[in-house]
Structure 1
Amino acid sequence: MPLSEQEQRLLDEMERNLYRNDADFVSTVGNRKGRPSYRNIAIGCVITIVGAGALIAGVILQQPIIGIIGFAAMLAGVMFAISPGKGEATSEPQSPFPASGKRSQSAASPSFMDRMNHRWDKRQDEN
């Protein structure tokens, strides 16, 4: 069932407010350009497997230095696999909405959330 025009407008406004007010959440959950590449994942997996082999060999040979080097290699492999690629990583989240909207929000007009909070407070005062 499609949304009505009013519901669609409210949803768009809520999304705009989310992008404007909660930049940290958007940057962690949103569309990131610095995603790990398949090449990094493959190389990281190979390094991790070699490190695991060295760790097991260190235990079998009872040589702690080989086990420590193997563990360090495993850790380095995992870190390399999850590291972002060399693409452009932006620290500022990009909003999918253009800067020029249907109407510009001025400082005098309250935001959607402010209006909802005001309505909620008003209802609580009436009860």
Structure 2
Amino acid sequence: MPLSEQEQRLLDEMERGLYHSDADDVTTVGASRGRAGSTAILLGLIGLVAGVALLVVGVMVRLPIVGVIGFVAMFAGALLLIAPPRRLTVSGTGHGHVDAPRPHRSSFMDSLGERWDRRNDDDEH
């Protein structure tokens, strides 16, 4: 059974809304982190090297706690290198630039809900 013109328009609008929201999500996720700043790289490298050194020392002196501390330090240093915290990143627009938060928009589902409510109100009157 073919769709009516109104149903076809609604379906087309829903598709456009989904494509638009997907594109917004991709740009938001991609821009959520900047590149690592020099502080994050330096701290990550120091943690990684110190962790490896502590791990080797812990094995040599046969103290498991020193090896575990070394592993934790090595892991933390590698984590800092791979995914630095936001305060240690540099945005693509400039050094130390903080992006302004986007104003809140109603979501696609909210607008559909409002349309549904209006449609039901029109049918009742």
When the two structures are superposed, what TM-score results if normalisation uses the length of structure 1?
Answer: 0.47
Q: Which structure carries more relative contact order (alpha carbon 8 Å, separation 6+)?
A: 1
When you count helix as a share of all residues, which structure comes out higher?
2
